[in-house]
Amino acid sequence: MNVYEIIPEKIITQLESGVAPWRKPWRCDAPMNLVSGKEYRGVNPFLLAPTGYGSRYWLTFNQANKLGGHIRKGEKSSIVTFWNIGPEKTRTTAEGVTKTSKPILLRYFNVFNLEQTEGIADKLGIGKFSPRAADIAQCESIVSSMKNPPSFAQHIQASYRPSTDTVSMPSKTAFESIEHYYSTLFHEMTHSTGHASRIGRPGIEEVSPFGTETYSKEELIAELGAAMLCGITGIAPMTLDTSAAYLKSWIEVLKGDSKLIVQAASAAQKAADYIRNVTVKPQENTTEVCEESEVTF
């Protein structure tokens, strides 16, 4: 089974159990590898969140041993993905045109949460972690500091209109809670990053009717992007439709396109980074890669 089969299978299993993993993001700081200090991004927070651990730190079996500790007997690993960027290659086309490219493979490896280990946390002085408290001031800061923002307007419905580049929102007082308001706003702002003046995405730049693959992908990007921003600010995503019909629709979509969740999570990460004015240098082979076997497609 390759990585593009394993990841959707895990997400679909969650959906079939009645939980949308992008609606239950981390409530502590973003998950991070204990040794490298690198945060897990893209689809990884949604693969790790359903495990229910409170610590943000993860590590491989070998890393645990090198730190003088060990994984407790009977503990099960979780997977995280990474993009493996190979050396640049040059080829000449039949027309005599020389092109250069770098092969990019999606791979995965197994990790364990710090709470699944013994002999490490105390040695490093890492105590227990409490869930992040909701930071409404940080929510407002993210909204107000977005570079090249869309226009904002008050309306009875929350929406993003590409033709006028406008995010429309009801008043804050119209929502059940302030968390409802910001999680909804983050959803619409994620849509707005697809505008040609920002990142640009087919689901925004082209008219995509309801029910099409492009429409579904764009909605998933907005769901994941909002969940990422909610996780960063410590608020729970409150825009939820947890109905059986909602979950069933995503199961069907993900079964129809095995690469969709990975592609959507990657696009959502770019959107969340854009909204937060964060620039992340692409990471090639990570320290974890050298010690675990991976599966490629």
Q: Residue 295: is its pLDDT beyond 70?
A: no
pLDDT confidence tier of residue 282, bands split at 50, 70 and 90: low
pLDDT confidence tier of residue 281, bands split at 50, 70 and 90: low
Which residues make Cβ contacts (< 8 Å) with residue 282, sequence separation at least 6?
A: 83, 85
> Looking at the chain, which runs of residues are DSSP E strands?
32-33, 57-59, 70-71, 78-85, 89-92, 98-101, 104-113, 117-118, 151-154, 159-161, 166-169
98-123 average pLDDT score = 89
What pLDDT was estimated at residue 296? 27
Query: Closest by alpha carbon to 9, among 79, 96, 98, 103?
Result: 79
CA-based torsion, 197, 198, 202, 204: positive or negative: negative
18-26 average pLDDT score = 68
More confident residue, 236 or 73: 73
Residue 21 near residue 4, CB atoms below 8 Å: no
pLDDT confidence tier of residue 131, bands split at 50, 70 and 90: low
Q: Residue 98: is its pLDDT beyond 60?
A: yes
Q: Residue 101: is its pLDDT beyond 70?
A: yes
219-243 average pLDDT score = 79
Q: Residue 129: is its pLDDT beyond 70?
A: no
Which residues make Cβ contacts (< 8 Å) with residue 246, sequence separation at least 6?
A: 20
What pLDDT was estimated at residue 1? 63
What pLDDT was estimated at residue 27? 55
d(CA 170, CA 159): 10
Q: Give the least confident one: 130-134, 211-215, 282-286.
A: 282-286
Q: Residue 67: is its pLDDT beyond 60?
A: yes
34-49 average pLDDT score = 92
Q: Residue 23: is its pLDDT beyond 70?
A: no
pLDDT confidence tier of residue 93, bands split at 50, 70 and 90: confident
pLDDT single digits (tens) 136-152: 999 999 999 999 999 99
The domain locations on the chain are: 3-14+23-131+280-291, 136-276
